[in-house]
Amino acid sequence: MKIIAFHNLKGGVGKTAAASNIAALAAESGIPTLLWDLDPQGAVSWYFGNTGDGDARVPKAGKLVKGKTPIGKTIVPTGIDNLDLIPADVSFRNIDLQLEKHGDRNTLADWLEPLGEDYGLVVLDCPPSLSRLAEQVFRVSDRVLVPLVPTWLSLNSWHQMQAFIADKKVDRRKFYPFWTMVDRRKRLHRQLLEQPPKELEQLMPGYIPYASDVERMGELRQPVHWFAPRSPAALAYRLLWRSFSKGKRSLNL
């Protein structure tokens, strides 16, 4: 089983849309995939029509950390073949407090370990923070995909992440940035696309455009390639998926 996390210190950068589309593409390629919505805002859960209201299967942070909830009991279907979901819960806003109290006995790696019998890929959509949970995500993941808007402020968030992983002694080679919300009408966007900063040596090919089709995911609650398969955004997500499912960046899925 391979684990891919989508993470950025900044919110509103297309992280959740990317995680949702990549998970759907992986499932449609025949890989049994689990998408875990770790963000208490629950945007991934919303995309797939699961708000968690009244569902006893939604994982509560405290019970999960204390080992009182088997992870398998929190999984729900999405309606897409080969794709299941662990929905978000608002209790995850306090997950770091729970990990501080009980994290030594039960960690993210412990929760994920038994899932290898049923899934070939786990996709984690992470909250926008550098925290105890983020550190565990970084350690357990085979790849951490970091969406970056081509702006200096977004690059500063990349530098902050790099400082965090250096301090925690996490292998920086597993971090792969990619451009997102790209608007080629903007000079700075074009400049950074054509001449990426040297510190982005593992930059993924292509970019996700700033497009209304991505915003329509919230209205239609579907991956982009379902309702706009030939759109630039759908093609961009397919390229992102192929870039680490095949070739030299392959995870050997």
Per-residue pLDDT for the chain (253 aa), expressed as one digit of tens each? 999 999 999 888 999 999 999 999 999 999 999 999 988 888 888 888 765 554 545 656 656 666 666 778 888 899 899 999 988 877 667 676 666 665 556 788 888 888 989 999 999 999 998 988 899 999 999 999 999 999 999 999 999 999 999 999 999 999 999 999 999 999 999 999 999 999 999 999 999 999 999 999 988 889 999 999 999 999 999 999 998 887 666 787 7
pLDDT at 68: 62
pLDDT at 211: 94
pLDDT at 188: 97
pLDDT at 102: 59
Domain coordinates in residue numbering, the chain: 2-249
pLDDT at 54: 47
pLDDT at 216: 92
The residues pairing with 86 across neighbouring beta strands, listed in sequence order, are 36
pLDDT at 105: 64
**CATH number of 2-249, picked from 3.40.605.10, 3.40.50.300, 3.40.50.2300, 3.40.50.2000:** 3.40.50.300
